[in-house]
Amino acid sequence: MDLPHHGYRATKQRGRTAAPTDSVLFDDTSSAAPAMNNQAYYTPGYNMGGTSNDMQGGPGANNLFTDPMANAAMMYGSSLANQGKDMVNKEISRFMSVNKLKYFFAVDTRYVLKKLMILMFPYTHQDWEVRYHRDTPLTPRQDVNAPDLYIPTMAFITYILLAGMALGIQKRFSPEVLGLCASTALVWIIIEVLVMLLSLYLLTVHSDLSTFDLIAYSGYKYVGMIFTVLCGLLFGSDGYFVALAWSSCALMFFIVRSLKMKILPSLSSDSMGMGSSAKPQLRLYITVATAVFQPIIIYWLTSHLVR
């Protein structure tokens, strides 16, 4: 945001006057930058930059006002940028609500560390309930059981990089392979989320699992995958299988305990003695099937990396 603005001004300046005004403007950038970073929007930052430049000294103020054309052009450019930004935001918010997405990225270090611990060793974690605060779920910062999208995203990217490294060790690397690995993993996530959504719809499970929740729970397996691949690279084939067994068990336990809270208890609210003996079994099957799918996909996506 700052760069095109000041680059434009700098080129205009070099076109007409000598160097000292350039240095004044670049000093303005560094002193105005902290103030600009505190703002989240284009226009207030721009105005603040403008006013602090005015206060910096005579040359700066003169160069702003002695060229109304440049001034008008910059105003027009910034209003165009604002329009573009608003249009993009409107289009995106038609498909997914950005506020819901922000909820999933509201994490901090303590949460990430605790969650990684739980993913690798879930057997000592006692309380698996997602806590609510007046009907809205708590953000991941305040509740360690809440799903987030930060860990899956980072784990996915790390997995792709690790796959590239593993293929390079086996001297089978080329940049196309990296893209292929990334799209394969992405396709498997999409397939898994679609199958989960379809089965939840068909069984009329009225849970509060949104699409992003399912993406989050599908993405947690990448942490196990990274651990498995690392052990396979460090300790050879035996280490790979031991790590595969360990992370599969941990991940299956984690998924069953997490999804059990979300899928199964909604049964007790709307059974009303309807004799739905088939239903709890089917919901249990879904949960267990999701859990069993995880080790299969971990093995499928990592075995070719560790020969």
Partner 1 sequence: MAFTLYSLIQAAILCVNAVAVLHEERFLSKIGWGVDQSVGGFGDEPGIKVQLMNLIRSVRTVMRVPLIAVNSVCIVLLLLFG
C-alpha distances out from residue 103 to 89, 121, 150, 246, Å: 17, 25, 10, 31
Interface region with partner 1, contact rule CB under 8 A, candidates 40-48, 165-173, 195-203, 240-248? 195-203
Nearer to partner 1, 193 or 250 (CB): 193
- Contacts of partner 1 in 134-193 (CB under 8 A): 180, 183-184, 186-188, 190-191
Smallest distance from partner 1 to CB 301, Å:
10
Residue carrying the six token digits 């205009």: 12
DSSP 17: S
Structure tokens belonging to residue 4: 């095109």
Question: Looking only at Cα atoms, what is the longest distance across the chain?
Answer: 87
CA distances from 208 to 213, 264, 278 (A): 9, 12, 22
Q: Is 202 in the site for partner 1 (CB under 8 A)?
A: yes
- 3-class DSSP assignment, residue 114: helix
In the set 31, 43, 276, 281, which binds partner 1 (CB under 8 A)?
A: 276
Which residue lies nearer to partner 1 by CB, 138 or 195? 195
Tell the smallest beta-carbon distance from residue 66 to partner 1 (Å): 53
Cβ proximity to partner 1: between 243 and 286 the closer is 286
Q: Quote the least distance from Cβ 205 to partner 1, whole Å.
A: 10
The Cα 131–Cα 262 span in angstroms is: 12
Compute the distance between CA of residue 9 and CA of residue 13 in angstroms, rounded to an integer. Answer: 6
Q: Which is nearer to partner 1, 75 or 198 (CB)?
A: 198
Judged by beta carbon, residue 93 or residue 183, the one nearer partner 1 is 183
- What b/e string do you get for 172-194 counting C-beta neighbours within 10 Å, with b at 16 or more? eeeeeebeebbeebeebbeebbe
Cα 273 from Cα 126, distance rounded (Å): 31
272 binds partner 1 (CB under 8 A): yes
- For residue 123, the minimal CB distance to partner 1 (Å) is 33
**Footprint (CB under 8 A) of partner 1, residues 212-271:** 270
Please tell me the number of Cα atoms within 13 Å of 92 on its side-chain side.
11
201 is an interface residue for partner 1 by CB under 8 A: yes
- Is residue 211 at the binding interface for partner 1, with CB under 8 A as the rule? no
Give the binding site for partner 1 (CB under 8 A): 180, 183-184, 186-188, 190-191, 201-204, 270, 272, 274, 276, 279, 300
